[in-house]
Structure 1
Amino acid sequence: MKGKENGLVDIYDALIEIYDDTTLTGSSGNASRVDAKDLAKAISSFKFLVSLVVWYDILFVINMTSKQLQAKEFNIRDVINQLGETKKFLVGRRSDADFEKTLVDAGELAEELDVPAFFEPDPICIRKKRKQFTYEADDEPIYNPKEKFKVNFYFAVIDTTIRLVEERFTLMQQISSVFGFLYDVYSLQNTTPKQIMEQCLTLEQALQHGESKDIDAFDL
């Protein structure tokens, strides 16, 4: 993922150009320059760059699956296979090794923007614990911004995405158990009449409400 390819460098340069434009005067002009400076600072922070890489990689894979779901020649078995591959990819990304690879990619973006590639610590306020005894030492919490980002953002985003993919995967499997044989009629040549009837009865029951039936398994 290159900053020039996704337009990030151009956006950053445009914001800096607005900030440096001294012809922007008055309250609105000064406000525009301040906003441009703040936005340029935000999109050039290493935390934002890492987030950008994470979402780019995830959405790239999700988009391929989404296209299959929206295709005119929709094949439920192919979609299930694609969802399985998507889940496999996401599970593979949920590792310390892949997190480090993400940092390398984000570091390349940082280099293009000429900004430091490290996580700036968030300001924290530590509440002092009241000592019961004079010999008790002060609490020294370990605060690592990189680890915090990995746990609170990187793993959290991937876990949420995996859960959503699993939900869709389960739904597609349920639909396939009822309608799946209709998407692969040619495979019925290798299916026994008894198995075909069982599938037709399952479809009939799924489309039945009380005594009302949309189809008749024996007609199928």
Structure 2
Amino acid sequence: MKLAEISDDPKKCRDAEKLASNEFSSFEFILSLNIWHDIVHKINLVSKNLQSEDMRLDVAIANLKGLVSFFEKYRENGFTSSMIDAKELDNEMDIEPIFLIKRRIKRNRQFDDNPDTEREQQFPLKNYRTDYFLVLVDMVLSQLKIRFKQMELFESVFGFFV
């Protein structure tokens, strides 16, 4: 809003006002920020531990194992806790905690198309959970597991130094 007030360019003013009033003040955006904060905060804590000068390989593996365990639990319970946090923030910011129903794109069906009726009937909250939250957490988990396997391989090769 401050950018909209101080800018001389009318296009920048309109864009800034639109972002501040629509995109940045939506429940979806606040929830996304909460989810990203949880993910990045936890990864940052482990990353700082892994970068310490006296880090040992067995301790690094234990940290990664704990991180994988956290995200497996977060996949099950994290969405509801993020929703609660986002609703608290929305109350402070006077934003309604609702998901906007997006317009569905209609397309002509072909004779051999299978109707995707189950997918079409899902609620916006469920769509958000399956299309955004679970995809994001699953990507984080898969990357952590790949790195965890690499660290275990390094320990099997260089573990005798400990």
| TM-score for both structures, normalised by structure 2 | 0.86
Q: What are the equivalent positions in structure 2 for 1:45-194 lying under 5 Å apart? A: 45-95=26-76, 97-127=77-107, 129=109, 141-183=120-162
For residues 183-210 of structure 1, what are the alpha-carbon distances to aligned partners after superposition, in whole Å with 9 as ceiling and x for unaligned?
3xxxxxxxxxxxxxxxxxxxxxxxxxxx
Displacement of 1:94: 1.1
Distance 1:126 1:72, change over 3 A: same
Displacement of 1:31: 1.8
Aligned residues between the structures? 155
Identity of aligned residues (%): 28
Structure 1 alignment gaps of length 5 or more: 1-14, 132-138, 184-220
| TM-score for both structures, normalised by structure 1 | 0.65
For residues 66-116 of structure 1, what are the alpha-carbon distances to aligned partners after superposition, in whole Å with 9 as ceiling and x for unaligned?
112211112111110011111111000112x43122111111121222111
> SS of the counterpart of 2:99?
coil
For residues 121-161 of structure 1, what are the alpha-carbon distances to aligned partners after superposition, in whole Å with 9 as ceiling and x for unaligned?
11112335478xxxxxxx79314111111001100000000
RMSD of equivalent CA atoms:
2.1
Displacement of 1:181: 2.3
Higher relative contact order, chain-length normalized (CA < 8 Å, sep 6+): 2
Displacement of 1:63: 0.7
Structure 2 alignment gaps of length 5 or more: 112-116
Instruction: Please name the residue that 1:200 is paired with.
Output: none
> SS of the counterpart of 1:177?
helix
In 1: Cα distance, 2:88 partner to 2:23 partner: 17
> Which amino acid is the alignment partner of residue 144 of structure 1?
F
Distance 1:32 1:127, change over 3 A: closer
> Which amino acid is the alignment partner of residue 178 of structure 1?
V
